[in-house]
Amino acid sequence: MENKEKVAEALLEIADGLEKGDCKEKIRVGLTTPGSEHGEKELLKGARLADQKVDYIEPVLIGREKPAGIEHHSCQDLESAHTRMEKLLETGEIDCAVTLHYSFPLGTATVGRVIAPCSGQEMLIATTTGSSASDRVEAMVKNALAGLASAGALGIDEPELGILNVEGARKTEQKLLELQENGLGIKFAESARGDGGRVMRGNDLLLGSCDVMVCDTLTGNLLMKLFSAREGGGNREVVGFGYGPGIGEGQDGIIGIISRASGAAVISGAIKYIAEAKRGNLLEKYEKVLQEARTAGLEDILAEDRDEKTAGDEDISAPPEKNTDAEIAGLDVLDIEKARQSLWQEDIYAETGMGCSGPVVMVAREDQKAARSHLEKKGYI
């Protein structure tokens, strides 16, 4: 009898969806709950909000709190929650995920989504955590590509792209113009200021003058906090959609970022954003944009200003690979590759990445003490 009732209920849902024209396959979004400054209940509240607002979202909780009516995977801390999240993504038990304090490898950065306070317009900030490249201008060019892909995944046709007036903006503009002249489909926004131009001012941030605002990651991270926490007293993010999905070449799986200060409304928005990115085939769109950029001469354009390798770098090979389950923070992004090479010279296997607070070197836990000591000795931290 119970099975018949479930079948009948499912058929009614399908019929209702067909009648309304909104029959959509469920997107299962994993949400890790440990680590928030506002407690796990705040994240649970955000998950319930997303579940109520968007009919095709099915939240899956990963953490200590066991909510009623929502699938739950028990984990006692954030590290184990990340491990479980990655496994669920790998097996296809969840379609995408939202988490906090997660380190992406160098080459991957997140595209945030905010609401401009003076217009109510949505705007993408490319990028907000992670790092697309160690070179500033190269990173901003790649951030632009990630932003365009994100806009496409959200269904924005011909998104207008602006470049925030930060260090490297003019060089970034030049390189993007070269790509445009070589056939890459870029539509530039116009600043709302009287003298116009593709380079955006602070006023344009407030107005949302473009669909995609390109900047460096650290500036983007600061902007996200200002946009999201301006009405929450500074210690709670209450407006927006979070720091966005990690995008980079070879990125496997859509993982979106919130912060430890994110409140329920932002968590709900982040879940919605990541589900939309999944439905919009974000990673496939990024690969397509990247390939089009390469056809337009991306590698040669970036190589024009790329620093040549220092003598001897080519002779340094990586030690045997290890599981990198420990992080060392406090490095400058410009030194991160040199720091890794320096550790390799000491026969310490290391990888690079970007955490929520900046660049990190990732090493095996048993090598962490020796690696930190070496990096301190060399002046990297």
Residues 206 and 333 grouped into a single domain: no
Query: Domain containing 367 — which CATH number?
Result: 3.30.70.1530
State which residues form the domain around 364. Answer: 313-378
Q: Which range has the worst mean pLDDT, 193-207, 270-284, 298-312, 357-371?
A: 298-312
Residues 215 and 125 grouped into a single domain: yes
As a whole number, mean pLDDT of residues 223-236 equals 91
Percent of the chain with pLDDT over 70: 90
Residues 225 and 318 grouped into a single domain: no
Residues 113 and 207 grouped into a single domain: yes
Residues 296 and 322 grouped into a single domain: no
Residues 141 and 213 grouped into a single domain: yes
Residue 137 lies in a domain: yes
Residues 188 and 291 grouped into a single domain: yes
As a whole number, mean pLDDT of residues 118-137 equals 94
Residues 317 and 295 grouped into a single domain: no
Residue 195 lies in a domain: yes
Residue 30 lies in a domain: no
- Among 303, 335, 351, the domain-final residue is 303
Please give the pLDDT value at position 100: 96
Most confidently modeled range among 3-7, 272-276, 337-341? 272-276
Please give the pLDDT value at position 315: 63
Please give the pLDDT value at position 314: 55
The mean predicted confidence, pLDDT, of the chain is 90
Residue 321 lies in a domain: yes
Q: Which range has the worst mean pLDDT, 54-58, 221-225, 235-239, 334-338?
A: 334-338
Residue 217 lies in a domain: yes
Please give the pLDDT value at position 21: 46
- Whether residue 260 contacts residue 228, with contact meaning beta carbons closer than 8 Å, is answered with no
Residues 218 and 320 grouped into a single domain: no
Integer CA distances (angstroms), 175 to 219, 302, 303, in order: 20, 8, 11
Residues 224 and 325 grouped into a single domain: no
Residue 1 lies in a domain: no
Residue 273 lies in a domain: no
pLDDT digits 0-9 by tens, 237-281: 999 999 999 999 989 999 999 999 999 999 999 999 999 999 999
Whether 224 shows a pLDDT value over 80: the answer reads yes
Residues 299 and 317 grouped into a single domain: no
> For the chain, what is the domain count?
2
Which are the catalytic amino acids?
356
Residues 326 and 299 grouped into a single domain: no
Whether 333 shows a pLDDT value over 90: the answer reads no
Residue 249 lies in a domain: no
Please give the pLDDT value at position 309: 43
